[in-house]
Structure formats: structure tokens, C-alpha cells
Amino acid sequence: MTHETETEAVTAANTAFYEAMERGDLETVSALWISDADGPPYSGISCVHPGWPMLFGRGQVLRSYAVIMANTEYIQFFLTDVRVSLAGDVAVVTCTENILSGGPAEDEGELGPLVGQLVVATNVFRRTADGWKLWSHHASPVLTEDEDETPSEGGS
């Protein structure tokens, strides 16, 4: 595959991951994380949700998605600044997640108040026979204001 096609394939895997989250589709999210079934050398996956401690291994990671999905009535990700950095069979995808989400409301059947969140994510993917799979996901809240320390665009 050309470098461009590779980048497209990785970007598609990254998009598929967020779309599965939006649908609350735990099965697809699970399948997008690398596992023993994807063949050796397999080693542990890791995941950090915004403000959370480190989660390690499929047990902790997939359980966390089940918990998040159970407590999220509605979630939408507007991805910006998506960048793919490739090296052999590994890709690092960085992006800004502009999240709009709502939990269950007090009254049954109602949607809770919508909350906006600015989050940055680093997603590491590995190439497998079954396509690009997540090896690590680290998402964190952006807490700083646009000050001097916020860099301008176009740094090299």
C-alpha cells in the first residue's frame, strides 16, 4: 500500500472507533481493540478516559466502555486536527475530540442536559491481518485557557 492509502486506512479505523462509541456499539469497540486473536506478538492494551486513572488489559478497558455506555444517553464526537503519524506496522493518531454528550435524565425517557467537552486524544494503532487495531487510547481534558503557553499553529 502507498503511504497515502495507509494513512487513509488508519484514519478509517480511527473514525470507526468514534462512530461505534456514538452508537453505543460495545461489540464493534471491543473488536477494534487488539487482542490475542490478532496474533503474536501481542502485549497489553492501555486506555485513559478524560480524568481517569490508567486502565490496563482487555478486562479493565472493555469494562470501562460498558460503564460509560450505560451512563451515556447521547454522545457525539466532532473530530478536528486529526493527524496520522506512521512507522511500519504502528500508527499514532492524534486528534481533538469536541464532545457533546448527555446522560439519562431524572424523568424516565427524557434526555439529560447536554454537556460540551474539549478533549485531546492520542490513539496508537497496530496493523494486523484483520486491519488496524487499537493498542493504546489516551484522552484528556483541555483545561488551559488560550494564553501565551498555548502554541500557535504551524510549529514544525
Nearer to a copy of itself, 116 or 155 (CB): 155
Q: How far is CA 116 from CA 21, 50, 55, 100, in A?
A: 16, 13, 24, 5
Residues of the shown chain interacting with a copy of itself in the complex, contacts defined by CB under 8 A: 41, 43-46, 48, 50-61, 63-64, 67, 81, 83, 85-90, 92, 94-96, 120, 122, 124, 126, 135-136, 138-144, 149-151, 155-156
In the chain, the amino acid numbered 141 is P
Q: What is the grid cell recorded at 83?
A: 493527524
Residue 45 beta carbon to a copy of itself: minimum distance, rounded to whole angstroms? 8
Q: What is the grid cell recorded at 21?
A: 462509541
**Residue whose C-alpha is closest to residue 11's, from 97, 92, 128, 65:** 92
Residue 31 beta carbon to a copy of itself: minimum distance, rounded to whole angstroms? 17
Residue 50 beta carbon to a copy of itself: minimum distance, rounded to whole angstroms? 7
- The count of other CB atoms within 10 Å of the CB of residue 45 is 22
Residue 119 beta carbon to a copy of itself: minimum distance, rounded to whole angstroms? 10
Nearer to a copy of itself, 52 or 78 (CB): 52
Nearer to a copy of itself, 56 or 110 (CB): 56
Tracing cell 477494534 back to the chain, one arrives at 32
Nearer to a copy of itself, 109 or 151 (CB): 151
Q: How far apart are CA 133 and CA 10, in angstroms?
A: 9
